[in-house]
Structure 1
Amino acid sequence: MWRPKTHTFVLLVGEVTMPLENVAHIFDLPIYGEPVNGWTDSSSVFLQSQSITIFGHELEVSSFSMSYIKLGWLRRIRDPEPLDTKESTRRYVRCQIFYLLGSTLFTDKLNAYAHAKYLPLLRDFERIHTYSWRSACLAHLYKALCHASRYDTKEMDGPLNLLFVWAWERIPCITPVPR
């Protein structure tokens, strides 16, 4: 059982939680640095300008909805990107990082969209590594677990792969048995 007030799992052996060190062990993300936050505008003008600046492409009209960008559109612009110049390589890496943010660290229920609020953080290529991605990922997981613990919730989002690996490593009774 997840206890939202303390952000801990209540088990028969006591309470356990996932500390930042485990996120470091599993995802190898930086903890020290600037907070992962920022201002975002959900207007199509903001999304188009950010998309052109960061990815070098305009968003398709059906690709954004209420500040979310389809990961399928991101794959379509990332895969044919020629890696012949420094700027095209940076665009490719930005696409890949944004894709990982939406598909691994800050997932939604469908694993199909990424929130546009992370776009400004990718704008300055030299600063991407300076953000505290580890604490943001753990906070997102805690928020998802708190939401999932409500009685009326039927689905869960968040970095579930992080939760599964942590549980398999730390809770031996649920670890898969090797054959």
Structure 2
Amino acid sequence: MITLQDVEVLFGIPIDGEEIVGTTALEWACENMLGVVTNGVVLQGQRIQIKRILQKVDKGLPDGAAEVAVNQYARCYILALLGDTIFTDKSGDRVLMMWLQILGDLRNPPRYSWGSACLTWLYRELCRAIKRGTS
């Protein structure tokens, strides 16, 4: 059985702090917080394509970029990282927009228990994976 201490050691993420909770109704956040214009392909339900986020990161930042652009770039990078490592799921190419609201204040972020969220997510996805017909 994987424990909270295992997650802390393997990923090096904190297990103490505030719980991560939130809503998944964040369509408005794509353009405002990420600077990514969405459509039916980029955003399906409450999940955004990681590939589309990485395209924004690959462009890099121009010299003298405004603070808004720097924050959008940082959020894209962190969201892609979360979707590819800590909160992966069977979709393989999308990340849940729920994580974006936690990245709202990049200057003074609250200390979250990322390890607890990671372990919870792992067990949730394992329960989904064992259902008949799941690929």
Normalized against structure 1, the TM-score is what? 0.65
1:103 aligns with 2:84: yes
Alignment check: 8 A CA contact 1:31 1:135 kept: yes
Give the alignment partner of residue 55 of structure 2, picking from 62, 71, 76: 76
Give the alignment partner of residue 26 of structure 1, picking from 10, 15, 21: 10
Alignment check: 8 A CA contact 1:30 1:132 kept: yes
**Pairwise CA RMSD of aligned residues?**
2.1
Letter in structure 1 aligned against 2:16: Y
Counterpart in the other structure of 1:131: 112
When residues 93 and 83 of structure 1 are mapped into structure 2, their CA distance, relative to the original with a 3 A threshold, is: farther
Give CA deviations for 1:61-85 in whole Å, capped at 9, x if unaligned.
4200111100111011111131534
Equivalent pairs, count: 133
Query: Unpaired runs of 5+ in structure 1?
Result: 1-16, 156-179
Aligned residue runs from structure 1 range 10-159, under 5 A: 17-41=1-25, 46-47=26-27, 49-82=28-61, 84=63, 85=65, 86-128=67-109, 130-150=111-131, 152=132, 154-155=134-135
Alignment check: 8 A CA contact 1:70 1:113 kept: yes
Pick the structure with greater CA Rg.
1
Higher relative contact order (CA 8 A, sep 6+): 2
Alignment check: 8 A CA contact 1:147 1:153 kept: no
Query: Unpaired runs of 5+ in structure 2?
Result: none
